[in-house]
Chains A and B, each alone.
Chain A
Amino acid sequence: MSTFVYMTRCDGCGHCVDICPSDIMHIDETIRRAKNIEPNFCWECYSCVKACPNHAIDVRGYADFAPMGHSVRVRREEEKGTISWKIKFRNGTVKDFVSPITTKPWGKFIPKLAEGDKPNQGEIKSQILYSEPQGLNIDGDLPTVSKDSFKKGVYY
């Protein structure tokens, strides 16, 4: 599954760009609205869906197991501290859930990124995500796989 953006709802605030752990939510260069630049890499974490203040982001299920008609949508009300879900099954059953927001304040368990050093353009453009590779608990650089070892015709 992957996220997509309702363009008329999006106002280009950048919250999804900010929060996406896979760094695939970006700003479209023609209309300056958010877009998922690489749906294959979407973790389905729903971070952007929940963060969007305009409910402009939705998740599209794969056609083989989620035929048209189902829906999973969320409303996050920060001022109330609640997060509500509406699950609509394809047979018409509807379930509503309300839970407290469990997000911890910035700086408590989440690093205070805004107070850290400003990254340079090289770091921003790098394939390596924030805290990689040291955050992965590995020695040295990220492991790489030689393209020669790929099964021919599948990847390239």
Chain B
Amino acid sequence: MEHRRGLIRPPRPAAILIAAAVLVFGIAGALEAAAHGREHRRANSTRSVSSAQVALAQRVESALHALTVTNVPNDTGEASARRTASRGDLVAVAITGRDSVVQSDSVAPLVGGPLTAGQRLDADLEVAGTLALAADSGEVRASAPVSLGTSAPSRSVLLVEPRYAPGQSLATTAQRRAALTGYAFGVLDVERLAAQTFASLPGPGGAVEIRDGDAVLFSVRDDAAPGRPSSPVVQNLSVAGRTWTVTSWVAGGAGGLPWLIFTAAVICAAGVIVLGIGAATSRARDEHEAARNRREFALVLESGALLQRSLDLADVLPSFAVTLSDEFNLEGITVMLAEGNGQLVELFSMGARPASLPTLADALVAPPDSVEGGHPLFVPLHRAGRAIGALWLLPREPLSPGQLDAVRAIADLAGSAVANAELYRKEQETARRLRELDTLKNDFIGTVSHELRTPVTAIKGFSAILESSGDQLDDEQRRDLIARIARNSTSLGTMLNGLLDFARLERRSMALEVARIDLAAAVRNVVDQMGSMLDQQELDVDAAGEVIAYTDTYAVERIVSNLLSNAAKFSPPGTRIQVQVRRSATDAGDRALVAVEDEGPGIPPEERGRIFSRFYRGSGEGVMRTRGAGIGLAVVQEFADRIGATVSVSSGRSGGARFTVSFPTSDPTVDGAARDEVTVPGQTRST
């Protein structure tokens, strides 16, 4: 007992001081560890919420798209509503007039709410306000949460797109109000949508809440761990004119782990001064780490906001690259997207760039755990869980695993933004091409109808003169009129043949049969048939003997007659048109050539790549003075492609145009025969 008493005698003042010092360190370390843990959880929570927010934004965007698809002008409300009722996250859609609902359709019947058929639109103040905003702005507008009748989801948001009378100018608010015919409505079940994207996110003891102003759209809280959530991270999401605020909290208070550390510190305080020194060192390291974590999640936030700012990559990628480059001290950064075959193509680059662009699979073959300074790395860009491209980074200094995690989180945000922007760009490009084609086709229809009416009018007019006043004319005048009727009839026939060829080639409904033929004889035959149309120029035909080619006779006839018509159209009267058929030996093998050369103004080199395009007409004065629909040379090219021939254009000896068509001289269906490379100016394709 004496011995035991000795053991519990009061400690000496020095030991009390040491123990007190270690105890203070222990408490400080415990509190710091708690803060440190919160920072970590907060960073993770922020990244997860950012990713979920992007996913939510995409689903809202899909819903808006589904609504726009519903809103087809002139379509009946019923057909339109039914077509889309089950699409995307819209649980109901409706088409309305200016004052009341015309037709609605939903997953479950909506009883008594503003979407019931026949319901007046001004019955609900919130709905009426949203309608006015949409009608005046001409854009889709979202409402605050509204009550939609007994069977609708409790937290629903209305998406409203205005419908205007077609063909009206919508430049000003007054014009938009006047042209308004009604609205397309969509109901978004926000609670379900948010639950699917955010439900698993808050983490132990954390919470996530989505608000529109004072109204709570969604709220979830994990009650697994004790303590009150703290340190909210707030992000805003813009939805069709409204702002949803997404707030996430991590668990607060001291958990079990920090108090264990505290207890351990008390036990060890009796003699372990070294522990205090170690705690001090650890504290400094943790402070540094916590500061870096704070910077990283601030960066994730900043990048997320930056990438959502615009759908035009040229607007956002430079700022995005500068932000990343500053934070991670990068020597170079390149953003790449994978094409259909997996090959990466560069979208944007700053500073050093990769020596060559690999395929996506090669780039992502071995994801690194850490990175040395001066060593490049590829980080995947994901969209909907699938890699769609990569970031290439060249850091000057090593990147820690924590920094790598931050880079990956940012790359996930960038993946969605880049993919959306790329989709948007492609849609814009498609729309532009369709507009161009539409203009060309309209011009084409106008030109063709004029071209057809001109000979018809001439035939009718000359016939009428012969009929009414034939007896006043002498024989020569009568013969002249009859010859003109015949020429106009031939011209009409040629034009109709050209249009029919064009239509059948477009529909791919023309059957061509390649066979062994005498090309020279086929060309002589075409020239004989066209003789009467070529009376303004002198025709010089060099097609004696036999030149064998494997081709289709009808295609040869159409190719040569189009080239001759073209030459006659652009050559002044009295000039010479030369037609030549011969065999030619080239590196690629024997070919049979047909050349048509005129003494007209020729085709400028910069136009040679485009003259074979559909509806294209040149811009020179010669072209302006002639008529045509711009399909003759396109028909020549189409026929040539179909029979394995090639067409090229060059300058003739007099400066006029020289078209050369090269035909195969061996049977292309026999093994070993060359698969021809069809070459036209500006393009190459395999047949």
A binds B: no
Measured CB to CB, the residues of A under 8 A from B are: none
